[in-house]
Amino acid sequence: MAIHEALLKMSMFVAPVLILPGPTNTLLLSSGLKVGLRGTWPLVVAEALGYSAGISAWGFLLCSFAADRPWFYDMVKLASSVYILYLAFRMWAYSRLLQDVSMVPVNFRDVFVATLLNPKALLFASTAFPREAFASAHYFGWVLFVFLVVLTPIGVGWSFLGGLLTSRRAWVDRTPTLLRGASLVLLGIASALLYSIANP
């Protein structure tokens, strides 16, 4: 597969997963609600650093461990699909996300640690990033760059949404519909992962 095709495929996978509510996005939203986009944008840098560190650690660890264990990637994919299904069902039921967001101050360290420990980092390293990326520093640099290009507007979007909801609280009532739509996207991603295991 050509590098540009691999990067496009990766972008189409990571974008919907990054958009979904989770620990990092909840912190960005909370900060946006409290201090607006201007005070929150540095936290997007913390998110980028957290994902970069987490994906790098998981990716190179998996690459080393699975070098003579090709079945291991299928096991990780299966575990990832189960995790995504869990997220899908949680999104469907969790219709009060925005009302429950904490308004306590959020700092750079909070977002970095939450992102570093976010299971999405393992998911991206094991299923979204091409395996070849962890065997070449040049390739990995390009893949990580594209990943960050996808991540940045999504992180800024969650921060902006917090500020927007501060002035338009009526939008909170639309949260259930958004979360249910997100759960359907997750079901599609989980199905694609399971299909890739059955048809390598």
Give which of 38, 36, 43, 41 is closest to 166, Cα–Cα.
Answer: 36
Is residue 145 packed enough to be buried (19+ CB in 10 Å), middle (13-18) or exposed (0-12)? exposed
Enclosing domain of residue 146: 3-198
**pLDDT one-digit tens code per residue, 28-85:** 887 887 777 788 888 999 999 999 999 998 888 877 776 677 777 677 777 767 776 7
pTM of the model: 0.74
**What is the residue type of 45?**
V
The answer to whether 47 and 28 have CB atoms below 8 angstroms apart is yes
Q: Is the dihedral of CA 38, 108, 51, 187 positive or negative?
A: negative
pLDDT (0 to 100) of residue 53: 95
CA distance 60 to 63: 5
What's the whole-number average pLDDT of the chain? 78
Cα diameter, the chain = 55
Using 50 as the pLDDT threshold, list the residues of the chain that sit under it.
Answer: 95
The answer to whether 49 and 168 have CB atoms below 8 angstroms apart is no
Q: How many domains is the chain built from?
A: 1
pLDDT (0 to 100) of residue 153: 95
Distances, alpha carbon 5 to alpha carbons 130, 174, 196, in Å = 11, 36, 17
pLDDT (0 to 100) of residue 9: 85
pLDDT (0 to 100) of residue 48: 96
Residue found by looking up tokens 């080393």 in the block: 64
Distances, alpha carbon 101 to alpha carbons 22, 26, 33, 105, in Å = 11, 7, 9, 12
pLDDT (0 to 100) of residue 174: 60
